[in-house]
Structure 1
Amino acid sequence: MTLDIALCCSAALLLTSLASFPLRTFSGRNGVIYGATALFSLLSFACGLGELLFPSAEPPAMILPAGLPWIGAHFRMDALSALFLAIIGWGGISSSLFAIGYSRHESASDRILPFFPLFLAGMSWVVLADDAYVFLFAWELMSLASWALVVSHHREEANARAGHVYLTMAAVGAFALILAFGLLATTSGSYAFSVIRETALSPLTTSVVLALVTIGAGSKAGLFPLHAWLPLAHPAAPSHVSALMSGVMTKVAVYGFVRVIFDLLRPAAWEGSFLILFLGGITAVLGVLYALMQHDLKRLLAYHTVENIGIIFIGLGLSLAFAANRIPWAAALSLTASLFHVVNHSLFKSLLFFGSGAVLASTGERDMGKMGGLIHRMPGTTVAFLVGCVAISALPPLNGFASEWLTFQAILVSPNLPQWALKFLIVAVGALLALSAALAAACFVKAFGMSFLGRPRSASAAEAKEVGAPSLAAMFANALFCLLAGIFPGQMVNALGPVVKEFAGQALPQQSVPFWAPMVPIAQTRSSYDALLLFVLIAITALGAAGLVRSIGFRPIRRSAAWDCGYPDASPATQYTTASFAQPIRRVYASSIFGAREKVEMPPPGDPAPARIAVKIHDPAWEGLYVPIAKAVLFLAGKLNPMQFLTIRRYLLLVFLLLIFLLALLSIWL
């Protein structure tokens, strides 16, 4: 029943997409389309959550007369599908609610409305697919719909370039997944997941499939160095679309990785986990370092998606390592940490993109150097954004801390692994994870402080107004879930139990029945985390300190001008800037990793000319990988260009020679 309703909701989202065309002249069409999208997303969310918390005896399955001839389209909802369907559903609800208020400031509604529900439908079909054809069809539908949303403002050159890069990366990822499913289906001859799941593969085929899926899913998730599209696409897309792409679509990519590697492939060798752990650790620390160098708020958030994807893949790599060494309880711990962070990131990253969208709608600015003082003009957005900043910085008692704490617990049990290479790598990855957590906190002190505190740095910031009630409701709903998931992490662990047991062989111990009890992932004597007690202590301490300061420092009240450090002019130019805030970290890390160079122009004494500093930062992934590939493609295209002017006889000769070559290759292969 739940699968039927979920598929009907996906079909209804498709019809909603089509309905946006006849409603083009209707003045209230934004509310109608986004309202319908929110309703169908709510039903999908209910189906996924219901199947996750109250699973059926057998996962519901269905074959529809569509897809490949004589085969049909296979759909199935197991615990993993239910979890990610719930994530997609909640993302659709909150994004649609935010868009109802945000769309009043959107100038390209005609190019957004048809593809927004289609995007959600494509993601839903990906997680419900039970054969390779439906999976890949839905994957491409998700990619093309999101590309159309990215280029909605296509007349801007930067947005058109972002769409081009995104579409290219999506094509590369899809090609890798097609090859992976082709190898998986080679032995059995069937594309149904139920048949592939029972097929034994050689170690070489397993390794190749693992590499291909890492490329295919990693390019969509933003795994380094396949992340190049993220910092371009997120600033180009409307903010509610950015929230869906970062908070939900990257999680669908994680779903694809888990579905193929943990379910269909189930690699037995530990070497595959080495690759995933290495990429996860590098992705986490480079993502946050990239973010620290940014002045554009949405680009900063995009790079933090890269960081959090790295954290998720660290958990997945640990789970693969422990599973390969037959340590199921540690594999369960690692997989729980990873999936918990998937849920958490979908909540706080959507919240942060909503906050950046609210700021953009009110000020017209994405540059944090032109913001400031918004705490007085937009108090509701400020509070919600602060919650998101605390959550993504992995500070207790919010949800980001709980999942990263579980990841560290999994790292601490790595001495149980017999391979010394893994032991050394996991220690290094743990150090990178700790570094990324510290840098993330510094980065969001910068993001929040530069955007909301201090004095306004531009006229638009000084005249900003709070966004409407629907947008605030979407932000506060996500903020509330960040708080609840943070102070009741044991209940989240229990909810993830069916998924973890399905792929790790066992789940974490059932957490105590009182929802306020501490979370004990392994054993009480080893480690525990009492989030609710910590929340109460933090609240009492903060309120007590505030009351003490108010009772002592505010009697008697003296009003005077604030100390101006010797500057009588209260100019915003005397405040810290985004560049000056990040300068110490830039000098420590970016000079070696990003090749950052500073050029200072200091006038001689007596010269009234202003001093100037210019900073140039290089992107090693873009300049070292993608630029050479682009140059090689252009070179080959230039050399092959004369082939389009050949005669028909020469074309036939080329086809004949190619056929001979392929037959010879086939005879050698067989």
Structure 2
Amino acid sequence: MTPVALVLWCIAALVAISVLAVTISRSPGATPIIYGASLSASAAVFVVVLLQLVTPAASGLLPALVLPVGLPWLGAHFRLDALAAFFLVVINLGGAAASLYGLGYGRHETAPQRLLPFFPVFLAGMNLVVLAADAFTFLLSWEFMSLASWGLVMTHHRERDNRKAAYIYLVMASFGTFALLLAFGLLAGTSGSYDFATMRTAGHAPAVSALVLILMLIGAGSKAGLVPLHVWLPLAHPAAPSHVSALMSGVMTKVAVYGFIRVVFDLLGEPAWWSGMIVLLLGGVTAVVGILHALMEQDLKRLLAYSTIENIGVIFVSLGLALAFEANAMNLAAALALAAALFHVLNHSFFKSLLFFGAGAVLTATGERDMDKLGGLIHRMPLTSFAFLVGSVAISALPPFNGFVSEWLAFQAILQSPDLPQWGLKIMVPAVGGLLALSAALAAACFVKAFGVTFLGRPRTLAAQLAKEVDRFSLSAMFVLAALCLLAGILPGIAIDALAPVTLTLVGGRMPVQTSAPWLSIVPIAEGRSSYNGLLVLLFTAFAASLAAYMVHRLASRALRRAPAWDCGFPDLSPQTQYTSASFAQPIRRVFGTLLFQAKETVEMPAPGDPKPARFTLELRDLIWGGLYEPIAGAVWFAAERLNHLQFLTIRRYLSLVFLALVFLLLVLAIWS
């Protein structure tokens, strides 16, 4: 049996698990059965595609498997190449981790009958999107994935905010699918050949290529979270259960990245140099806007959702660089930039899933997502705190963890920009590099805030004070991902070499073989230019920390005195003296808030002798929502009100409208022909 057929059988098993969940979801033993079966199916796909990726045959296109379903003259095409194999690894590793986490987290779910049937089909939909090799199957699978994830967002539908989040998500998903439909229509052209193999060999006019690029940025970018199409993401991801949030943020957004890469790098043909500028600019703006929004948040899951937008920006910056280098036949630099994007796709799936699992553990233990109602959890949830700390360090791009490596590769690609011939790119790339550096620094500040306010200090509420550690399944899933964050950081050469078939297929080049470098170093271009060794960084860090601890304990006095925590000069040890999430972000808010959020701070100070309390009020506005989406929503509502009277027409007037519409369409057809 071929690898494609094996993966399809596993996908069919996931659909069967969903059908089973419909029948048994109200029984007490449904949760372990459904999540255990989903874990097995995802693990099976992971093993199959990983073997396919690391074998030499993965660098080429395997024969497509055509099933007699779908359009009668087309069928459903499925193919497993290097690009599809890599993204299937990401999807199924994330799906297996979420299923393992769900074995414990699902016990606390109040509405399992609304969650369990949609979980396996969501995994199946994401797998089908990546495996599809024709436009019809791709779009059908895309909608299947979107509707399944919408059902998961609606799990707790009785909460008004969740219903609003699901509605906005559905509208944005439909808008994105419409853009993808138009893009594939342009790629098919007048021949109407919807299979990817024909699209790949067909020539496309420059105007068509430009329009397809714009439509893919809209269609895939709306699902990934590119600014300004990101507005659904911070609403929908927190509304879903935490392991579903991990899948949506850590995995589903990568399916959107896959769709963009498949069309723009594979089906569209040779790129134009200016296409790299567009993608670069959108990626840089997305990274900075996303992390600034995250810094302003006090809801832990919304903070993580906005952070996903920042990381999507990092990925698209690298993809824009790869387009620019490929257009100028700089194959080695293009391979470096594309490898940085793909490696960050993998890394983000690790640490963002880990962080959402940690947020879910906090929510389970305390019932709170508001960081200002937490604090002191490091003493009550030490294992969760440690895992969340690993994810925070990784996402802050600090060595020796994996986030540093992929962002370091992106900066190495930026350093190749002086060799680009176009002056627009010579100016744009360093400017976007500055935005990338700014977003990296802000990300570190953001997760110092997230970890410090949530886990350090003293408990601010009774719920935080009474918190207890979560179950072993949740902890196991978190520690598996924490270990992967470390392994990908100290042994990145293995992952980079596994990406070589993908870069060879898409941009005609590959990075130097990394596993042959001494001491497990990675060398992006050549040893004389730059290199990095995560293992040596880890050993040096461990040695320096151990030496410092030894010297302190050896040379310091052995006398021990315990005292209360420093109270900032106040006699009462009140949690109110601690930093809050808003006070931590205040300096950054005062620098960027006026420009991006129209921040308005109001202080009401009563007169001397007046017993009323002083009040501080902070108002933030999302300029993109207020400037773009609210006017569109208002225009739609205005048009709907004006057209509302059409439903009260007589049958004679309805027939007249149908006749006039028919005449109009015949005139258009006559003029067009």
Q: TM-score, normalised by structure 2?
A: 0.98
How far residue 662 of structure 1 moved from its aligned partner, in angstroms, is 3.0
Match of 1:342 among 340, 345, 359: 345
Q: Provide closer, same or farther for how the CA distance between residues 668 and 207 of structure 1 changes in structure 2, counting only shifts above 3 A.
A: farther
How far residue 83 of structure 1 moved from its aligned partner, in angstroms, is 0.5
Counterpart amino acid of 2:227? F
Maintained 8 Å contact 1:285/1:436: yes
Corresponding residue number in structure 2 for 1:159: 162
Counterpart amino acid of 1:208? L
| CA–CA separation in structure 1 for the residues paired with 2:214 and 2:382 | 47
Counterpart amino acid of 1:305? T
Maintained 8 Å contact 1:48/1:84: no
Q: Provide closer, same or farther for how the CA distance between residues 332 and 403 of structure 1 changes in structure 2, counting only shifts above 3 A.
A: same
How far residue 647 of structure 1 moved from its aligned partner, in angstroms, is 2.7
| CA–CA separation in structure 2 for the residues paired with 1:252 and 1:171 | 16
Corresponding residue number in structure 2 for 1:524: 527
- Equivalent position SS for 1:20: helix
Corresponding residue number in structure 1 for 2:114: 111
How far residue 565 of structure 1 moved from its aligned partner, in angstroms, is 3.0
| CA–CA separation in structure 1 for the residues paired with 2:21 and 2:441 | 45
- Equivalent position SS for 2:272: coil
Match of 1:434 among 429, 433, 437: 437
Maintained 8 Å contact 1:187/1:199: no
How far residue 265 of structure 1 moved from its aligned partner, in angstroms, is 0.6
Maintained 8 Å contact 1:518/1:530: yes
Counterpart amino acid of 2:39? A
Corresponding residue number in structure 2 for 1:10: 11
- Equivalent position SS for 2:344: helix
Maintained 8 Å contact 1:3/1:47: no
1:397 paired with 2:409, answer no
- Equivalent position SS for 1:595: coil
* C-alpha RMSD of matched pairs (Å): 1.3
Offset from partner CA, 1:253-282 (integer Å, 9 cap, x none): 000000011111124311222211111000
- Equivalent position SS for 2:573: coil
- Equivalent position SS for 1:372: coil
Corresponding residue number in structure 1 for 2:35: 34
Matches within 5 A, 1:80-119: 80-119=83-122
Maintained 8 Å contact 1:55/1:79: no
Matches within 5 A, 1:225-244: 225-244=228-247
How far residue 666 of structure 1 moved from its aligned partner, in angstroms, is 3.6
Q: Provide closer, same or farther for how the CA distance between residues 186 and 58 of structure 1 changes in structure 2, counting only shifts above 3 A.
A: closer
Counterpart amino acid of 1:18? V
Maintained 8 Å contact 1:488/1:515: no
Corresponding residue number in structure 1 for 2:24: 23
Counterpart amino acid of 1:13? L
How far residue 105 of structure 1 moved from its aligned partner, in angstroms, is 1.3
How far residue 669 of structure 1 moved from its aligned partner, in angstroms, is 4.0
Corresponding residue number in structure 2 for 1:630: 633
1:377 paired with 2:375, answer no
After superposing the two structures, state which structure 1 stretch, 354-363 or 2-11, moved more.
2-11
Corresponding residue number in structure 2 for 1:255: 258
Offset from partner CA, 1:472-493 (integer Å, 9 cap, x none): 0000000000000001111111
Corresponding residue number in structure 1 for 2:47: 46
Corresponding residue number in structure 1 for 2:77: 74
How far residue 289 of structure 1 moved from its aligned partner, in angstroms, is 0.2
Corresponding residue number in structure 2 for 1:174: 177
Instruction: Name stretches of at least 5 consecutive residues in structure 1 with no aligned partner.
Output: none
Query: Matched residue pairs, number?
Result: 670
Offset from partner CA, 1:351-376 (integer Å, 9 cap, x none): 00000000000000000000000001
Q: Provide closer, same or farther for how the CA distance between residues 324 and 660 of structure 1 changes in structure 2, counting only shifts above 3 A.
A: farther
| CA–CA separation in structure 1 for the residues paired with 2:625 and 2:246 | 24
1:556 paired with 2:559, answer yes
| CA–CA separation in structure 2 for the residues paired with 1:81 and 1:411 | 27
1:601 paired with 2:604, answer yes
Q: Provide closer, same or farther for how the CA distance between residues 582 and 141 of structure 1 changes in structure 2, counting only shifts above 3 A.
A: same
| CA–CA separation in structure 1 for the residues paired with 2:134 and 2:549 | 58
Maintained 8 Å contact 2:61/2:80: no
Matches within 5 A, 1:303-322: 303-322=306-325
Matches within 5 A, 1:489-500: 489-500=492-503
How far residue 188 of structure 1 moved from its aligned partner, in angstroms, is 2.9
Corresponding residue number in structure 2 for 1:62: 65
| CA–CA separation in structure 1 for the residues paired with 2:648 and 2:204 | 45
- Equivalent position SS for 1:614: strand
- Equivalent position SS for 2:520: coil
Maintained 8 Å contact 1:183/1:205: yes
| CA–CA separation in structure 1 for the residues paired with 2:282 and 2:476 | 37
After superposing the two structures, state which structure 1 stretch, 246-255 or 596-605, moved more.
596-605
Maintained 8 Å contact 2:273/2:323: yes
1:469 paired with 2:472, answer yes
| CA–CA separation in structure 2 for the residues paired with 1:514 and 1:271 | 35
Corresponding residue number in structure 1 for 2:207: 204
Offset from partner CA, 1:481-525 (integer Å, 9 cap, x none): 000000111111101111111101011111133684210010111
Maintained 8 Å contact 1:196/1:264: yes
Matches within 5 A, 1:614-629: 614-629=617-632
- Equivalent position SS for 1:68: coil
| CA–CA separation in structure 1 for the residues paired with 2:218 and 2:270 | 17
- Equivalent position SS for 2:95: helix
Corresponding residue number in structure 1 for 2:413: 410
Corresponding residue number in structure 1 for 2:506: 503
How far residue 622 of structure 1 moved from its aligned partner, in angstroms, is 0.4
Q: Provide closer, same or farther for how the CA distance between residues 459 and 596 of structure 1 changes in structure 2, counting only shifts above 3 A.
A: same
Corresponding residue number in structure 2 for 1:641: 644
| CA–CA separation in structure 2 for the residues paired with 1:446 and 1:19 | 43
| CA–CA separation in structure 2 for the residues paired with 1:440 and 1:89 | 27
| CA–CA separation in structure 2 for the residues paired with 1:560 and 1:435 | 40
Runs of 4+ in 1 over 6 A off after TM superposition: none
After superposing the two structures, state which structure 1 stretch, 182-191 or 301-310, moved more.
182-191
Corresponding residue number in structure 2 for 1:275: 278
Maintained 8 Å contact 2:25/2:117: no
Offset from partner CA, 1:20-46 (integer Å, 9 cap, x none): 122134311100000000000000111
Counterpart amino acid of 1:32? I
| CA–CA separation in structure 1 for the residues paired with 2:553 and 2:102 | 40
Match of 1:224 among 216, 220, 227: 227
Maintained 8 Å contact 1:378/1:466: yes
How far residue 195 of structure 1 moved from its aligned partner, in angstroms, is 0.7
| CA–CA separation in structure 2 for the residues paired with 1:669 and 1:417 | 43
- Equivalent position SS for 1:599: strand
Match of 2:186 among 183, 203, 206: 183
| CA–CA separation in structure 2 for the residues paired with 1:343 and 1:37 | 21
Corresponding residue number in structure 2 for 1:137: 140
1:246 paired with 2:268, answer no
| CA–CA separation in structure 2 for the residues paired with 1:239 and 1:469 | 16
Corresponding residue number in structure 2 for 1:456: 459
Maintained 8 Å contact 1:368/1:578: yes
Corresponding residue number in structure 2 for 1:574: 577
| CA–CA separation in structure 1 for the residues paired with 2:651 and 2:275 | 48
Counterpart amino acid of 1:395? L
1:585 paired with 2:574, answer no
| CA–CA separation in structure 2 for the residues paired with 1:383 and 1:643 | 61
| CA–CA separation in structure 2 for the residues paired with 1:137 and 1:495 | 30
Counterpart amino acid of 2:315? I
Corresponding residue number in structure 1 for 2:369: 366
| CA–CA separation in structure 1 for the residues paired with 2:217 and 2:177 | 11
Q: Provide closer, same or farther for how the CA distance between residues 562 and 454 of structure 1 changes in structure 2, counting only shifts above 3 A.
A: closer
Offset from partner CA, 1:609-657 (integer Å, 9 cap, x none): 3322110001011001100000000011111111222233333332333
Q: TM-score, normalised by structure 1?
A: 0.98
